[in-house]
Amino acid sequence: DQQVKQNSPSLSVQEGRISILNCDYTNSMFDYFLWYKKYPAEGPTFLISISSIKDKNEDGRFTVFLNKSAKHLSLHIVPSQPGDSAVYFCAASAGSYQLTFGKGTKLSVIP
């Protein structure tokens, strides 16, 4: 039972364009959502988060949107840079803070 789903295993985007990574969840109890970036042979690095009381959070080039009715969140990266090439994990928690992760989307930003 996969409660957090990232249906696109990979995504390629031209440098300077927008990258949109999507995530769907099934557990309506999730109240906090996070995005992590992971380079090969490194641990996941926290990128941005959003509480369920908000529908948007922005941090520089990164914006996360939350649509609670659709149980969907997305990460927008504008403009995309080659250094953004990594695997992006969506994660969610419900109360007791046991993060549930999606399987990740590998983003490739092409120069």
| DSSP codes of every residue in 36-49 | EEE-TTS--EEEEE
The values of phi and psi at residue 84, to 5°, are: -80, -10
- Residues 39-68 interacting with another protein (rule: CB under 8 A): 41-46, 49, 51
Residue 110 lies near another protein (rule: CB under 8 A): no
Tokens of 48: 């941005």
Nearest distance, CB of residue 95 and another protein, angstroms: 5
- Of 80-109, binders to another protein (CB under 8 A) are 89, 91, 93-104
Closest approach of another protein to the CB of residue 111, in Å: 27
**For 41, left (φ over 0), alpha (ψ -120 to 50), or beta?**
left
Residues at the site binding another protein, with contacts judged by CB under 8 A: 31-32, 34, 36, 41-46, 49, 51, 89, 91, 93-104
